[in-house]
Amino acid sequence: MTDPGPDAAQAPPRRVRADARRNIDAVLEAAKAVFAAHGVDAPVREIAAKAGVGVGTLYRHFPQRADLVAAVFRHEVDACADAAPVFAAEHDPDEALSLWLQRFTGFIATKRGLASALHSGDPTFDSLPQYFESRFLPALDALLDAAAAAGAIRADVDARELLNAISGLSMSEDPERPGQSARMVALLVDGLRHRAR
């Protein structure tokens, strides 16, 4: 047997074929909708049907239900975090911050159904809190820094504390009063403007 050489372990991961990528994206979008409507224990066949793929295709990419739940969570985290630089490029700093915090609020509100799964003790979910922080903290830090530099908000706002506060507001929303957390976050953003330069 020949030695593969020192660079073999450094080889980049194989690219996912375009059709496989489309299938994965379709499954993630379908699972997000089905989980939101029926919870994470919804039948896999329903997710596959909504995605327009066979059950075998779904299981090929996500062998366990926990794999699918974790992938949906990561997909949604990425979409939310990636919105931050888009808002920053298209709006004034304080407006970009406000828009992204509302986007984050919506993310938390729609993920309430996943909370029990994420805290189930399944090791598949162990890395998700760190992933959450690694994507959201830099996104929010950049928005806060820009808004503070523009004199639109106070400069002593901690990104982690703000994320925790909004998460708490969003998770405790009363189903009888839709939009309550969004209104509370709007008030919170107004508070950030207090003592701005």
pLDDT tens digit sequence for 11-69: 444 566 777 789 999 999 999 999 888 888 899 999 999 999 999 999 999 999 999 99
Compute the C-alpha angle 67/72/76, nearest 5°.
150
Q: What's the CATH number for 73-197?
A: 1.10.357.10
pLDDT, averaged across the chain: 85
Q: What's the CATH number for 17-63?
A: 1.10.10
pTM: 0.81
Give dist(CA 180, CA 142) in Å, integer: 27
The domain spans of the chain are 17-63, 73-197
pLDDT tens digit sequence for 150-182: 999 999 999 999 999 888 877 666 667 767 778
